[in-house]
């Protein structure tokens, strides 16, 4: 199995965030926010399957996403 499939929320660095797109927007979740919503042991490649992260506006699940540095999000 590819090692990328084993990364969990707990493996994210303190300054990393996950950006998850749906049909209407892109939402950004920091490590602590993700841990509070879905737990620290959730694998990142399956995170879009968690209903807690589905969009409340359009109802779409985020099937893909990407990592970003939290400092890069500040404007």
CA dist 2 and 16 (Å) reads 21
> Of 1, 68, 75, whose CA–CA distance to 31 is shortest?
68
Global pTM?
Answer: 0.80
CA dist 35 and 42 (Å) reads 8
CB atoms within 10 A of CB 6: 11
Query: pLDDT 10s per residue in the chain (75 long)?
Result: 677 678 999 999 989 999 999 989 999 999 999 999 999 999 988 888 889 999 999 999 987 888 888 665 544
What are 16's strand-pairing partners? 69
> Of 42, 46, 41, 38, whose CA–CA distance to 65 is shortest?
46
């Amino acid at each position: 199995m590819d090692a990328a499939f084993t990364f969990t929320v707990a493996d994210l660095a303190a300054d990393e965030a996950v950006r998850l797109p749906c049909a209407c927007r892109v939402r950004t979740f920091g490590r602590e926010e993700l841990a509070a919503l879905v737990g620290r042991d959730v694998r990142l490649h399956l995170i879009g399957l968690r209903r807690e992260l589905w969009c409340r506006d359009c109802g779409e699940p985020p099937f893909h996403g990407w990592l970003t540095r939290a400092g890069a999000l500040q404007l």
